[in-house]
Amino acid sequence: MNDCLFCRISAKKNPADIIYEDSDAVAFIDINPQAPVHVLIIPKKHISTALEITPEDNALVGHLFQVAVKIAAEKGIDKQGFRLVINTNSAAGQTVFHIHLHLLGGRQMHWPPG
């Protein structure tokens, strides 16, 4: 999808601070970080929202979590704790319609989130 920002980042048509990549996923630093560690983990496959995840994506979505945990360990925030978030549609504040897992950490998180 040429008009999708995260497809463009995945295809290296738009710049991003990419910290991890494999055949199925890419992870990069959020441009407007909400915590000392704020990484976005995306599938290379275009999936607009969590509502479009199908059973054939189960392994892919599980892989995104594995990548997120690996990055959390590399960043040294695994023991203290971190948050994984997928905003879905407007009431949750989704602004980019290509699914992404937010990895947030490096500070105390509050609950409930705003």
Q: Which residue lies nearer to Zn ion by CB, 4 or 50? A: 4
**Residue 11 near ligand 5GP by CB under 6 A:** no
Which is nearer to Zn ion, 4 or 109 (by Cβ)?
A: 4
The encoded tokens of residue 106 equal 């490096």
Which parts of this chain interact with Zn ion (CB under 5 A)? 1, 4, 6-7, 46, 98
d(CA 100, CA 42): 5
Annotation marks residue 100 as catalytic: yes
Q: In whole angstroms, what is the distance from residue 92 CA to residue 21 CA?
A: 27
Is the distance from CB of 86 to CB of 100 less than 8 angstroms?
Answer: yes
- The residues that are catalytic are 100
Name the residues that contact ligand 5GP, by CB under 6 A. 5, 16, 28-32, 40, 87, 93-96
